[in-house]
Amino acid sequence: MREYYRILKALFVFAVLLPPTIIFKKIKFPGYKTWPHLVHRSLCYALNVKVKTFGEPLEGPPTLFVSNHVSWIDILVLGHVIKACFVAKKDMKGWPILGYLSSLQRTIFVDREKRTDVIEQRKEMQDRIHNGDNLILFPEGTTSDGGRVLPFKSSLFGVTEKAMKLETDEQGHIRDLMVQPVTIVYKRINDMPTIRANRPSVAWYGDIDMAPHFKGVLNLLKIEVEVHFHEPVSRNLFKTRKELSAYCQRTIENRLLECLRGKHKS
């Protein structure tokens, strides 16, 4: 019964919020970029995903948010707390519900298998940044089991190379592209600490099928997620994208391990 109740709550959210989201995006109504943020927040409520934040997302200059990736739930969680566009794999576009939601949030879908498309996609990301949009990047290129951070693909940071310096601000100063690492920690499931045994109920990785995993999430009582915002840094502090990638991975991984080992106070 619980899964049907959650489905009804989610359908109610769609019925109320999707029509204005679609219309506002189509006519570019003032503030239309923030409506998907409201949809994601409401879906977190519908699925009983409790989100606790540490620190604040940077507001002001265009920012590249860099996060570890554990589950499709990450999309709802980060869409809830960050006003930004996702950078996601092309196959996500075909996901039921989430694929459509991502399109409404102006997600940039990338196909890393086609070199010719990569150049155009990178240009689109750079154009978005120069036009003032924030981006959310998952540099692992896939999802993990939530107990570790997979190696970051430094090539995904290529978007930053031609966007290191942005247009001048109102005072005539040249703005730097800012990068903010973000750590996602799935802390508790059904009021029990997350451990290796129960982590697969929220972590979506490997060859786990989407449909049964989604159904399993609907049957959970509660999911508690922490989102840790680290100190933003200027892209210009790093000589290469590999240095930037290594810094972000180290920062995110250290906080994840601290949280899982109970060394970070919640």
Neighbouring C-beta atoms of residue 243, cutoff 10 Å: 13
7 in any annotated domain: no
| Contact criterion met (CB below 8 Å) for 69 and 61 | no
Average pLDDT along the chain: 84
Domain-embedded: residue 40: no
Q: Residue 19 has what DSSP assignment?
A: H
**Which of 97, 110, 53 has its CA nearest to residue 77?**
53
Structure-token pair, residue 119 = 């150049």
96: in domain = yes
Contacts (Cβ under 8 Å, ≥6 apart) of 144: 68, 69, 70, 150, 203, 205
Q: Does residue 92 belong to any structural domain of this protein?
A: yes
In a domain, 211, yes or no: yes
Confirm whether 128 is domain-assigned.
yes
Count the domains in the chain: 1
Amino acid at 242: K
Work out the pLDDT band at 207, boundaries 50, 70, 90: confident
Tokens of 70: 């554990």
Q: Tokens in use for 196?
A: 């290796």
Low-confidence winner among 8-22, 118-132, 140-154, 166-180 (lowest mean pLDDT):
166-180
**Is residue 58 a part of any domain in this protein?**
yes
| 35-77 confidence digits (pLDDT tens) | 778 888 988 998 899 999 999 999 877 899 999 999 999 999 9
Domain with 82, as residue range(s), is 51-260
Residue 1: pLDDT band (50, 70, 90) is low
The pLDDT assigned to 32 comes to: 73
Of 246, 110, 87, residue with least CA distance to 181: 246
Residue 2 lies in a domain: no
* CATH number of the domain encompassing residue 159: 3.40.1130
Q: What is the pLDDT of residue 144?
A: 93
